[in-house]
Amino acid sequence: MDSFDKKILQILQKDCSISLSEIAEQVGLTSTPCWRRIQALEKSGVIRGRVVLADPEKLNVGLTVFVMVKTNQHNEQWLTKFANNIKDIPEIMEFYRLSGDVDYLLRVVVPDMKAYDVFYKKLITHADFSDISSSFAMEELKFSTSLPVSYL
């Protein structure tokens, strides 16, 4: 990956709807080699997909909740069952297995506290937990979907 590829990634991560000719101009290439580089980045899996970022407030899911899950079940079977049971719950935006005191972290979006209560009651039916705690985001201070390319 060279400086052209890095710049292409930076541009596409900010706005993937930008035209090929604009990308090529910004990175200092003509359209054909720029397109080939984008295709190579997609084929290699560096670019996993292209998406639209929607406004949570306008979709009435403005409350972000971080759900910390602890379990006494530390085995592959439990994790597979839990992950499979929650993978299609649309309110769960992210799901991580952690080291430390908390076993799993979920980022959840819902309209309000009442909707979170409904979500919570649904979540606890999917597995045995030793503890679930929630923290409610009061203010979003930084949000980005752009990954740094400086480590390449």
> 12-22: per-residue pLDDT in tens?
999 999 999 99
CATH architecture type of domain 63-136? 2-Layer Sandwich (3.30)
Which pLDDT score is estimated for 93? 97
As a whole number, mean pLDDT of residues 90-115 equals: 97
User: Closest Cα partner for 27 from 51, 52, 2?
Assistant: 2
Which pLDDT score is estimated for 134? 97
pTM (two decimals)? 0.88
User: Which segments of the chain belong to CATH 1.10.10.10?
Assistant: 3-43
3-state secondary structure of 94: strand
Q: How far apart are CA 68 and CA 60, in angstroms?
A: 23
User: Which segments of the chain belong to CATH 3.30.70.920?
Assistant: 63-136
Which pLDDT score is estimated for 126? 87
Element (H, E) at 70: strand 63-70
Q: Supply the CATH classification number for the domain 3-43.
A: 1.10.10.10
Which pLDDT score is estimated for 152? 86
Structure tokens at 76: 């592959």
Q: How far apart are CA 119 and CA 5, in angstroms?
A: 41
Q: How far apart are CA 56 and CA 115, in angstroms?
A: 14
Model pLDDT for residues 73-98, shown as the tens digit of each residue: 899 999 999 999 999 999 999 999 99
